[in-house]
Amino acid sequence: MKQEKERYTFNAAEFNEKVMKGHFKKIYPVIARQILERTGITSGRCIDLGGGPGMLAVELAKASALDVTVCDVTFECVALAKENSREHGVHERVSAVQGTAEKLPFDDNSIDLVVSRGSIFFWEDQQKGLSEVYRVLRPGGWAYIGGGFGTAELLQEILAEKADDVEWNEKRKERLAKNPPGHFEAMLRNLGIDGGVERGEASMWIIFTKSTTQP
């Protein structure tokens, strides 16, 4: 489902240092654990879709036996993800490729887990992206897509740190207003995907699994 999207232009190196390794550093280990506990997927192939410099991928690899591929639209983020995986000693299980949600560079039924934190709000066609995620999942595989800060306490900590960043706060509120749970629930129904949207104080995640009994 296409809609007018916010243009996502940013300095990848600055985002890596100030956001992923700065304000948001604490959230990635927490979100990684939440994903693994919720889905039960701890080995096999994983995609971190729109993963940027790859810190969620790094934490997933640290906390599991997953082989994780960061898939991001920008060359700079792909390079940074590889650099970060080397820095954290998980480069043998974390790789990175360029690609978009709407045309994933992976085979049908080949992926055990697809995760994505924050990127769906910038996809050109969200419904097509979700369809692609479902396509690449193997039967029994899981998707965990949306946005979150791990815990309410971590969210409050970040909000305090970003209190003076008026643009960031306004953009965050705007994204949430334009993408309520019902917006994504309708897409899942349109695609015939049996899943749902789980909303918490510090998160909103689209979660579904691919049936093991395919027609």
In a domain, residue 99? The reply is yes
Query: 142 has which bridge partners?
Result: 113, 209
Please indicate, yes or no, if residue 1 is contained in any of the structural domains. Answer: no
Q: What is the pLDDT of residues 79-118, one digit of tens each?
A: 999 999 999 999 999 999 999 999 999 999 999 999 999 9
- Supply the CATH number for residue 106's domain: 3.40.50.150
**Could you tell me if residue 151 is inside a domain?**
yes
Mean pLDDT of 164-174: 89
In a domain, residue 175? The reply is yes
Residue length of the chain: 215
Specify the pTM. Answer: 0.91
In a domain, 2, yes or no: no
Helix (H) or strand (E) holding 111: strand 111-117
Count how many domains the chain has. Answer: 1
Planar angle of CA 206, 196, 215, nearest 5 degrees: 105
Contact yes or no for 26/48 (Cβ under 8 A): no
Residues 6+ apart with CB under 8 A from 199: 181
Tens of pLDDT, residues 17-69:
656 666 788 999 999 999 999 999 999 999 999 999 999 999 999 999 999 99
The verdict on residue 180 lying in a domain is yes
Question: CA–CA distance from 30 to each of 27, 105, 151, 182 (Å)?
Answer: 5, 28, 8, 26
Q: Is residue 136 part of a domain?
A: yes
**8 pLDDT above the threshold of 50:** no
pLDDT of residue 18: 59
Residue 65 belongs to some domain of the structure: yes
Residues 48 and 51: their CA atoms lie apart, in Å, by: 5
- For residue 157, give its domain range: 26-209
HSE (side-chain half, CA atoms, 13 Å) at 160: 6
